[in-house]
Homo-oligomer: A and B are copies of this chain.
């Protein structure tokens, strides 16, 4: 961990609910966290839907689904090569100090209650103003 990367920050909007894109968000988030960089993930729209209890299991690949076979194949390979599952990646993200912020507008719009969400993962609830404020203090921001 480089001392100069301390206090640096990255923000990521997780708009997509696709299996592979949520996985990417956590892999990138964990990558920055392991370098001592602060990371905030803002879950909105389909991304927030996937953060509901049991949501990671229902998440679909963004393409080449082969009637579900694509995801099965990837899950099998993830296991074979000891790559973490989304659930493990998300837990590591929180353990490494990453923040998961649920978009409160999406919650209202989609009728999602706090108890519907993975409360072990969500650390805060916020609006777009929160995202904008954090992004202005960040090195970069991604929309996934």
Query: A121–B32 Cα gap in the complex (Å)?
Result: 27
- Give chain B residues whose Cβ lies under 8 Å from the Cβ of A129: 31, 34-35
A91 to B140: give the CA distance in the assembly, Å.
28
Interface residues contributed by chain A, number (CB under 8 Å) = 49
Q: A135–B143 contact, CB under 8 A? A: no
For residue A110, which residues in chain B have a CB less than 8 angstroms away from its CB?
77
Find out whether the CB atom of B136 lies under 8 angstroms from the CB atom of A8. yes
Instruction: Tell me whether A136 and B15 are in contact in the complex, defined as CB-CB below 8 angstroms, given that A24-B45, A74-B109, A83-B109 are known contacts.
Output: no
Chain A interfacial positions (CB closer than 8 Å to B): 5, 8, 10, 13, 15-17, 20-21, 24, 27-28, 30-32, 34-35, 37, 44-46, 62-64, 74, 77-78, 81, 83, 105, 108-111, 127-129, 131-133, 135-136, 138-144
